[in-house]
Amino acid sequence: MRVTRPLTLLLLMGSLHSLAAPVTPQDILNLIPASPAGQNLALSEQQAQQTLNAAQAALDLKVTAGGNYSLNTTDFTSTQQSGSINLGVSLPVLPWGSAFDSLKTTQRNYKAALLDAQDARNSLTSKLISGYYSILLAELDLRLAKQNQRLAEVQLQVVQQQKNQGTAAQEALLQAQQKLGTTQVNTLKAQNALDAARATLSNTLGRPIPEGEYTAAVLTGLPERTLEAWNALALSQRSDLQKAALKLEAAQDALNHALEDRWRPAGTLSTGLSSGAFGVDVSLNVQTGVLSSSASYAFQDGGPGGYKFSLSASIPIVDASQDATIQANQLAVQVAQATVESTKQSALLDVAQKYASVQVAALQVKNASGALAVAAEHLKVTEARVKAGLSTPLDLTSAQIALAQAEKDRTAAEVSLLTANLDLMNAAGQTYRGGVL
């Protein structure tokens, strides 16, 4: 009875930890917005949005007001005063103007910034989920290590009793002591591994993680898709492909702009009307695409009114610098096109490799489930043998620990499958939204 009493409490002692409140992966993901990493992502998105807003505002109407006043004297006995006030407005109207070019560039940069933020958020999410299950597996390892240690303690007690009764040799006692020492070392290693897993997750999140039991079921539910379907998603949604396409678009725009500038005249069209002290002018800069107008009033008499019209223009005939720019931009387009194709091939290869990893991980889960079934059957047989007096309570405890080990191994296989699934989602440009995959 002195031997069986600790055996009946062996696994129950490991369950005391379950009194702690459970922590789920979603609980960890919910902390992202308040974490330093999450806040940095939000700030980068806000900064990109503000830059885009500024570029869009550059296309709006601009209004300016001004004036001047002067006082002239020749002999300090007579003075002459003059002055005027004016109001001016300007608005970009031609699509090739610098304001429109700046907006296109900013829009591309904005899209690229959002893609970068999405990649960073997906990477952070994957790391946090992986970190959560690293803690879960470390807790299972620690629990198994403690169970093996307690089993070794009981086995040492049995051997000591047998030694006192003269039925066990000194060698058996030394071996039992050595086994206990090994399990104590394994328990310490498992505790250190758990502490390291918790510290790693906290460091990834950038803040303390919740205290509690990390024992949530492994996330499942990835949609069944063929490799071709995953490839189609990747080609349409992968961020690196989208950013390569944006660079090609920028290179093509730069080439088109250079070709248009090569023969577009640089000129200004202006007209004006004045009557007495009042005057109105309107001008259009053909090169910058800005239409501007101004109205002025002079304090002194401006004389008789009138109308004026002017046009100035120049057309580049020979310009080696612009020709060289066109050639450079043509080469840049070719490079960008090649980059798109190479990125596409790399993406398809990445998806194929991740897809194969999922298939392997799924088989490993199947094999681990088979091993678990074997361990469960072995436990049933051992229980029956103990009832029949053919096995000892120690054999039963060993079978229980073997079953727990098999359960842990299957959980580890499921975590590996989850990691492979997340990697495949990222390779296909998909974003994890929480809950099931």
Q: What is the pLDDT of residue 304?
A: 63
Q: What is the pLDDT of residue 63?
A: 84
* H helices present in 294-392, as ranges: 320-387
Region(s) of the chain under CATH 1.20.1600.10: 1-62+95-216, 221-264+319-437
34 pLDDT tier (thresholds 50, 70, 90): very high
**Measured on CA atoms in the order 52, 56, 58, 62, is the torsion positive or negative?**
negative
Chain center to CA of 25: 17
| Distance (Å, whole) CA 4 – CA 276 | 117
Intra-chain end-to-end CA distance of the chain, in Å: 51
Residue 59 in tokens: 């296309």
- Who wins on pLDDT, 293 or 299? 293
Q: What is the pLDDT of residue 4?
A: 39
Q: Is the pTM of this model over 0.85?
A: no
329 pLDDT tier (thresholds 50, 70, 90): very high
Mean pLDDT for 409-417 is 95
Residue 210 in tokens: 């919740």
Angle at 309 between CA 307 and CA 311, to 5 degrees: 170
DSSP β-bridge partners for residue 88: 64, 294
Choose among 369, 371, 376, 367: nearest CA to 399. 376
User: Is residue 311 pLDDT above 90, yes or no?
Assistant: no
DSSP secondary-structure letter at 303?
Answer: -
Mean pLDDT for 66-93 is 76
| Distance (Å, whole) CA 112 – CA 91 | 28
pLDDT tens string 154-176: 999 999 999 899 888 999 999 99
- Who wins on pLDDT, 136 or 84? 136
Residue 231 in tokens: 């490839």
Q: What are phi and psi of 287, to 5 degrees?
A: -75, -45
305 pLDDT tier (thresholds 50, 70, 90): low
| Residue 87 contacts residue 294 (beta carbons within 8 Å) | yes
- Who wins on pLDDT, 289 or 415? 415
DSSP secondary-structure letter at 208?
Answer: P
Residue in the block written with tokens 């009764």: 165
| Distance (Å, whole) CA 70 – CA 79 | 10
Q: What is the pLDDT of residue 64?
A: 85
- Who wins on pLDDT, 327 or 263? 327
Choose among 148, 146, 147, 175: nearest CA to 159. 175
pLDDT tens string 87-133: 878 888 888 788 888 899 999 999 999 999 999 999 999 999 999 99
| Residue 28 contacts residue 207 (beta carbons within 8 Å) | no
| Distance (Å, whole) CA 42 – CA 32 | 10
pLDDT tens string 179-214: 999 999 999 999 999 999 999 999 999 999 999 889
Provide the percentage of residues in the chain whose pLDDT is more than 70: 89
DSSP secondary-structure letter at 19?
Answer: G
| CATH numeric code, 221-264+319-437 | 1.20.1600.10
| Residue 137 contacts residue 419 (beta carbons within 8 Å) | no
User: Is residue 6 pLDDT above 60, yes or no?
Assistant: no
| Distance (Å, whole) CA 387 – CA 337 | 75
- Who wins on pLDDT, 381 or 272? 381
pLDDT tens string 226-280: 999 999 999 999 999 999 999 999 999 999 988 888 877 777 888 888 777 787 8
Q: What is the pLDDT of residue 318?
A: 75
**CA distances from residue 338 to 258, 341, 345 in whole angstroms, order as listed:** 21, 5, 11
321 pLDDT tier (thresholds 50, 70, 90): confident
| Distance (Å, whole) CA 207 – CA 307 | 72
What rounded mean pLDDT belongs to the chain? Answer: 87
User: Is residue 21 pLDDT above 90, yes or no?
Assistant: no
pLDDT tens string 385-407: 999 999 999 999 999 999 999 99
Residues ≥6 apart with Cβ < 8 Å to 259:
326
pLDDT tens string 335-377: 999 999 999 999 999 999 999 999 999 999 999 999 999 999 9
Please tell us whether the domain made up of 1-62+95-216 is placed in CATH 1.20.1600.10. Answer: yes
Residue 304 in tokens: 């008789």
Mean pLDDT for 35-57 is 91
